[in-house]
């Protein structure tokens, strides 16, 4: 069974290349070169770059959801602290790449969207799926009196994830954790302030 | 004097193309085609795509600073309301493009940085220059007792601009004003809450 492994190898290479060059800038040639795969192998496995990119994005998101559940499902912590824990886990991941890589979901949101309605509509779904466990955790924190109920859990979850993408954007420019830490400190002392 | 006008024409085209295709995805060929300029004209006026992109970014930022001063220099409004006014002015601009275009500074922050240390260091300067009038306005609001002094004006300005970029990112995916309006409502009722 060499085929499934080559397929995965190309998908792994695709993530690396797309992190570096974006969706538009990543040529099929770059991807197969990174995968050390023969030229023809890409078209054997993927119908188009667009479909390939969606699969790269889906795999990345699946991995992200794993980190979400690692943080938010840990019932040993109060709900409010679990939210913070997620951001800390991501901070460690971003630090491992010296803050040169951000979030593929954010990258595609700014860059791939004018070029692919398929990726845009997939991103709409991804943000909805991503928001759900955060909204549930925030609702739990609100019910426990840890977070104010001024805004709905859905709106707060959306605010958290969107603003976090903004912090990652600033991190990429500064190449430091400062924008991430600043975001956490301010957000958890204001919007997500302990009641 | 046709030369300066052709130069500007190419720069204007560059902004349009880079909004659509990003820094990496925009070829010199796309840019001269958009400008309806002869192929050779690009290299007559610009030493490289990187230097050209920096000039496109600088012109865009200069325009942005005009909008900043339109909002923040309007002393007829309390300082806190001027901050909000800036976000409202930008919201109208983004709506004019049906929320398909975001902010070139944000786009380059995510996409151009792995490819150009020159653009990255220019973005570091741009964010510092961009932050300054916001920090001054926030300090004024803090001195007037309109905004809490828990955090420094610099940190709050940085938080505001970074989170706003995050809201724009979400806007591009949703193609609606909802993420922008959500951000304004939550931020001005929490972090920038009236004292």
Candidates B24, B152, B163, B178, partner chain A, best to mutate (most A CBs within 10 A): B163
Closest chain B C-alpha to A6 CA, distance in angstroms: 27
Give me the tens of pLDDT residue by residue for chain B, a chain 195 residues long.
455 689 999 999 999 999 999 999 999 999 999 999 998 999 999 999 999 999 999 999 999 999 999 999 999 999 999 999 999 999 999 999 999 999 999 999 999 999 999 999 999 999 999 999 999 999 999 999 999 999 999 999 999 999 999 999 999 999 999 999 999 999 999 999 998
- Report yes or no: B159 at the A interface, CB cutoff 8 Å: yes
What is the crossing angle of helices B28-35 and B3-25, to 10°?
A: 140
Tokens 């920090």 locate to B135
Angle at A122 between CA A110 and CA A68, to 5 degrees: 85
B chain contacts of residue A16, beta-carbon cutoff 8 Å: none
For chain A, what is the mean pLDDT?
96
Cβ of A170 within 8 Å of Cβ of B155? The answer is: no
Asked if the C-beta of B24 comes within 8 angstroms of chain A's C-beta atoms, the answer is yes
Report the alpha-carbon distance of residue A27 to residue A16 in Å, rounded.
12
- The top-level CATH class assigned to B1-46 is mainly alpha
Low-confidence spans in chain A with pLDDT less than 50:
1
> Looking at beta carbons, which residues of chain B come within 8 Å of A150?
189-190
The ranges assigned to domains in chain B are 1-46, 48-189
Nearest beta carbon to residue A190 from set B22, B174, B190:
B190
Interface contact flag, B150 A189, Cβ < 8 Å:
yes
Phi, psi values for residue A4, rounded to 5°: -60, -35
Question: Contact at 8 Å (CB) between B53 and B18?
Answer: yes
Task: Tell me if chain B has a CB within 8 Å of the CB of A107.
Answer: yes
Q: How far is B162 from chain A (nearest CA, A)?
A: 5
Of A106, A64, A170, A96, the residue nearest B159 (C-alpha): A170
In chain B, which residues have their Cβ closer than 8 Å to the Cβ of A24? 21-22, 24-25
pLDDT number for residue B39: 86
Provide the pLDDT for residue B139: 98
Give start and end residues of each alpha helix (H) in chain B: 3-25, 28-35, 41-45, 49-72, 79-96, 104-111, 117-143, 153-174, 178-189
Contact state of A173 with B102 under an 8 Å Cβ cutoff? no
B48-189 maps to which CATH number?
1.10.357.10
- CB-nearest partner of B100 from A21, A114, A151: A114
ipTM of the complex as predicted = 0.96
Q: What is the pLDDT of residue B66?
A: 98
Of all residues in chain B, the one with the smallest CA distance to A23 is B25
What pLDDT is stored for residue A136 in this prediction?
Answer: 98
Prediction pTM value: 0.96
Q: How far apart, in whole angstroms, are the C-alpha atoms of residue B161 and residue A22?
A: 23
| Residue A4: per-residue pLDDT | 60
Q: Which of B115, B173, B185 sits opposite A113 (nearest CB)?
A: B173
- What integer pLDDT is reported at residue A39 of this predicted model? 86
CB-based contact, A128 to chain B, within 8 Å:
no
- What does the block give as tokens for B78? 């309390």
B47 burial type by CB count under 10 A (0-12 exposed, 13-18 middle, 19+ buried): exposed
pLDDT of residue B4: 61
Q: For residue B37, give every residue at least 6 positions away whose Cβ sits within 8 Å of its Cβ, in sequence order, or none.
A: B6, B9, B10, B13
SS3 string, B61-98, reads HHHHHHHHHHHHCCCCCCHHHHHHHHHHHHHHHHHHCC
> Per residue in A158-179, is it b (16+ CB within 10 Å) or e — as a string?
bbbbbbbbbbbbbbbbbeebeb
């Amino acid at each position: 069974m060499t085929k499934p492994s080559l397929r995965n190898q190309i998908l792994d290479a695709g993530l690396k290349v797309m992190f570096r060059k974006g969706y538009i800038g990543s040529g099929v040639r770059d991807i197969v070169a990174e995968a050390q795969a023969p030229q023809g192998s890409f078209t054997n496995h993927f119908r188009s770059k667009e479909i390939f990119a969606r699969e790269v994005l889906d795999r990345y998101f699946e991995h992200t959801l794993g980190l979400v559940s690692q943080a938010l499902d840990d019932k040993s912590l109060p709900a409010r602290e679990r939210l913070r824990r997620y951001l800390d886990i991501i901070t460690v991941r971003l630090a491992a790449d010296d803050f040169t890589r951000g979030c593929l979901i954010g990258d595609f949101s700014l860059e791939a969207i004018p070029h692919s309605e398929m990726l845009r509509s997939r991103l709409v779904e991804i943000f909805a799926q991503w928001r759900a466990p955060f909204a549930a955790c925030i609702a739990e924190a609100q019910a426990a009196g840890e977070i104010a109920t001024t805004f709905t859990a859905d709106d707060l979850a959306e605010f958290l994830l969107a603003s976090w993408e903004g912090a990652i954007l600033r991190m990429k420019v500064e190449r430091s954790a400062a924008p991430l830490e600043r975001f956490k400190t301010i957000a958890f002392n204001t919007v997500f302030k302990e009641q």
